[in-house]
Amino acid sequence: MIDFILKEWLLIISGLGFVLSSVYTRHLPVYSVPELQVLFILFTLFIAVNGLQNSGLISRFSQWIEKGKAIPFNLVVTTFLLSMLVTNDVALIVIVPLTLALNINRKDILVIFEALAANAGAALTPFGNPQNLFIYWFYNLHPAIFIKTIAPFSLVFLSILVNWSFIIKTKSTVNSINSINSIKIQRVNNSAYAYGILLIIVLLSILHVLYLSAGLLVILYALLFDRKALLVDYALLCSFFFFFGLADNMKMLLAAKIRDSGHVFLFSALTSQIISNVPTTLLFAKFTTNWEALLWGVNVGGFGSLFGSLANLIAYKIYVTHDNTDNTAMFTAKFLVIGYAAFFLAIALYFMLHAL
């Protein structure tokens, strides 16, 4: 039971919030069509990415990038680029274990930088993380407008992380050839081509190039040829369902709208530090039409605390449970110090840009 609670705390909290708010308001939540569409898109996106990961393509690409002298730079940029396409969570699931398999020092700092790069990279695209997908679909935005709005955040932090990565000097603790050979090379199977095409279909449906129903091809392919790909994070999907309902109930309790863009930005960024940026997005979207401030707020909120983003928890959990790591307290302290330095820098960046 304890293991289940620690693993699925988001599902438990969202489910309890859904039930308690429904009982208190004596109201069953009403689900909008865009909310149900987001759930469908997430499901098909999870299947396509899961299939690509099982095919070995993502791991092979990451291993190829890691071979070279500028390892910190390669890891940071690879994480940033991967998160734009396959979400920040998946990017870290792939990159962090490969980082920990290398026999180099400063792996704790590299993992922290990778978490920052994943959050910054995922912010740039409508499908880089769940909160972006919801904002993009809920407010019916044009892709170019979406990217233009959040691009300063992503590109500034890419520049910062790239410069920091050159400052980090890693040294091999064992022979570098043995380091690379210690990583198990996964064979890429033919399903990679199919899932690559299916992922493109999902992305085009998100961008309104194809009808949303095109995503049914992903489900159909998995049912017929690769049912293992259907083993996605259903707990996260259920958490979204509960948070949609909770947000609708909270809308009944909080009648006043938050209109000021500075308030929307700050409140969403700070709330993300406590309940993470995904549920914060679902909650605040019910109260404001200022999607630009909300988009910035929840993506900035991914920095800082371990709870700011699920990606943070993924990177942290992989690191502290790995056999070759120790001193969890020191790693936690470094994660928080560097994370909050980025958090406050991002806040300053937002107000600097919007004061011009």
305: which 2 tokens?
């605390």
Q: How far is CA 191 from CA 49, 74, 177, 194, in A?
A: 12, 27, 30, 5
Which H or E element spans position 169?
Answer: none
* Tokens 């790239």 -> residue: 162
118: which 2 tokens?
């994943």
Q: Where are the domains of the chain?
A: 2-30+57-186+233-355
Separation CA 244–CA 32 (nearest Å): 9
Separation CA 234–CA 200 (nearest Å): 22
Separation CA 132–CA 85 (nearest Å): 12
Q: Considering all CA atoms of the chain, what is the largest pairwise distance in Å, rounded to the nearest integer?
A: 65
Instruction: From first to last of the 356 residues of the chain, give the pLDDT tens digit.
Output: 777 776 677 788 889 989 998 998 888 888 888 888 888 988 998 898 888 878 877 667 666 665 666 888 888 999 999 899 878 888 887 788 778 877 677 888 999 999 999 999 999 999 899 899 999 988 999 999 999 999 999 999 999 999 998 888 777 665 544 444 544 555 778 888 899 899 889 888 888 888 989 999 999 999 999 999 998 878 878 888 888 888 778 777 665 555 555 678 888 999 888 878 888 888 888 778 899 999 999 999 999 988 888 888 888 888 887 766 777 889 889 999 999 999 999 999 999 998 66
Judging by beta carbons within 10 Å of its beta carbon (0-12, 13-18, 19+), is residue 204 exposed, middle or buried? middle
**For the chain, first and last CA: distance in Å?**
52
293 with 268: CB under 8 angstroms? Answer: yes
The confidence score (pLDDT) of residue 112 equals: 94
179: which 2 tokens?
């380091």
The confidence score (pLDDT) of residue 149 equals: 96
pTM for this model (two decimals): 0.76
Separation CA 220–CA 224 (nearest Å): 6
Q: Strand, helix or coil at 143?
A: helix
Length of the chain: 356
DSSP letters along 177-236, please?
HHHHHTSPPPPPPTHHHHHHHHHHHHHHHHTTSS-GGGGHHHHHHHHHH-GGGG---HHH
Going by C-alpha positions, the residue among 43, 36, 33, 32 that lies closest to residue 202 is 43
The confidence score (pLDDT) of residue 90 equals: 80
Q: How far is CA 29 from the centre of its chain?
A: 26
Separation CA 319–CA 126 (nearest Å): 28
The confidence score (pLDDT) of residue 182 equals: 47
Neighbours of 214 (CB within 10 A): 15
* Tokens 């949609």 -> residue: 244
Neighbours of 182 (CB within 10 A): 11
| pLDDT per residue as tens digits for the range 59-103 | 676 666 656 668 888 889 999 998 998 788 888 877 887 788 776
Going by C-alpha positions, the residue among 342, 335, 293 that lies closest to residue 107 is 335
Contacts (Cβ under 8 Å, ≥6 apart) of 9: none
The confidence score (pLDDT) of residue 177 equals: 46
DSSP letters along 11-35, please?
HHHHHHHHHHHHHHHT------HHH
261: which 2 tokens?
């863009």
CA dihedral 120, 121, 125, 127 (to 10 degrees): -100
The confidence score (pLDDT) of residue 338 equals: 94
